[in-house]
């Protein structure tokens, strides 16, 4: 007689409107709980987060009205030290894509918080000049947005835009970078991208100037 298959349990999901969902097949790169998910997600006002890095300070202003669930998650990860001593693993320098990507404790681009949540996609981004389809949008210099691996796969990774970038509106915008932060991003970008055996002059890869997030703190 064949043995019964082991019982499977659905992933844990929070009960509020954000429905943060555990990803047991993609466990947390660093232990952290699911974020709080109250019946009403705070959706007004801004929150400042100070992000000191090994290359200089980056000041962020998070906008609850734009993306309340995303802001709630980002604050949760910050307050639980998820981002402490993590390295920004990816710099892009394409003519139409200029971002620094951070938020993975593994430093590989494959790590996350062990949960995912819904998109809160922007509806007010301008069209990219010359794009007749209206699908390519301007993610302007200074925007703060979530990286993802497809619809509703937001986790901990985010990107900071240091030059106007052309993207589909598939990435949640949840804040902005201050003037000091942009200067830090410019410094990292000016350092370039580490060459590889296959590509001596890459436009996408690991920054030459290692950018480690130290101990970010929420400044209400």
Per mean pLDDT, which range of 7-16, 62-71, 146-155 is the poorest?
A: 7-16
pLDDT tens digits for 61-96?
Answer: 999 999 999 999 999 999 999 999 999 999 999 999
Residue whose tokens read 């710099």:
91
State the pTM of this model. 0.95
> Which residues neighbour 75 within 8 Å (Cβ) at sequence distance 6 or greater?
47, 49, 62, 218
Cβ neighbours, 10 Å, residue 10: 8
Q: Is 99 helix (H, G, I), strand (E, B) or coil?
A: strand
Q: Quickly state the pLDDT bin for 10 (edges 50, 70, 90).
A: confident
Q: Is 68 helix (H, G, I), strand (E, B) or coil?
A: helix
Q: Is 61 helix (H, G, I), strand (E, B) or coil?
A: strand
pLDDT at 3: 56
pLDDT tens digits for 89-140?
Answer: 999 999 999 999 999 999 999 999 999 999 999 999 999 999 999 999 999 9
Domains detected in the chain: 21-219 (2.40.100.10)
Q: Where are the alpha helices (DSSP H) in 103-210?
A: 179-191
């Amino acid at each position: 007689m064949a043995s019964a298959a082991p019982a499977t349990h659905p992933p844990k999901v929070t009960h509020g409107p954000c429905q943060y969902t555990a990803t047991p097949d993609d466990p947390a790169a660093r232990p952290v709980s699911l974020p709080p998910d109250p019946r009403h997600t705070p959706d007004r006002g801004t929150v400042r987060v100070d992000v000191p890095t090994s290359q200089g300070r980056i000041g962020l202003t998070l906008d609850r009205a734009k993306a309340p669930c995303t802001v709630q998650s980002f604050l949760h990860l910050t307050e639980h030290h998820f981002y402490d001593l993590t390295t920004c693993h990816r710099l892009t320098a394409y003519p139409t894509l200029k971002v620094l990507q951070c938020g993975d404790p593994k430093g590989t681009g494959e790590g996350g918080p062990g949960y995912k949540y819904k998109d809160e996609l922007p509806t007010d981004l301008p069209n990219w000049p010359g794009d007749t389809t209206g699908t390519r949008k301007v993610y302007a210099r200074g925007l703060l947005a979530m990286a993802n691996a497809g619809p509703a796969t937001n986790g901990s990774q985010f990107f900071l835009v240091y030059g106007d970038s052309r993207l589909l509106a598939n990435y949640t915008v949840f804040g902005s970078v201050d003037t000091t932060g942009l200067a830090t991003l410019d410094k990292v970008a000016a350092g370039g991208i580490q060459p590889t055996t296959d590509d001596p002059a890459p436009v996408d890869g690991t920054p030459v100037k290692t950018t480690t997030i130290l101990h970010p703190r929420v400044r209400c």
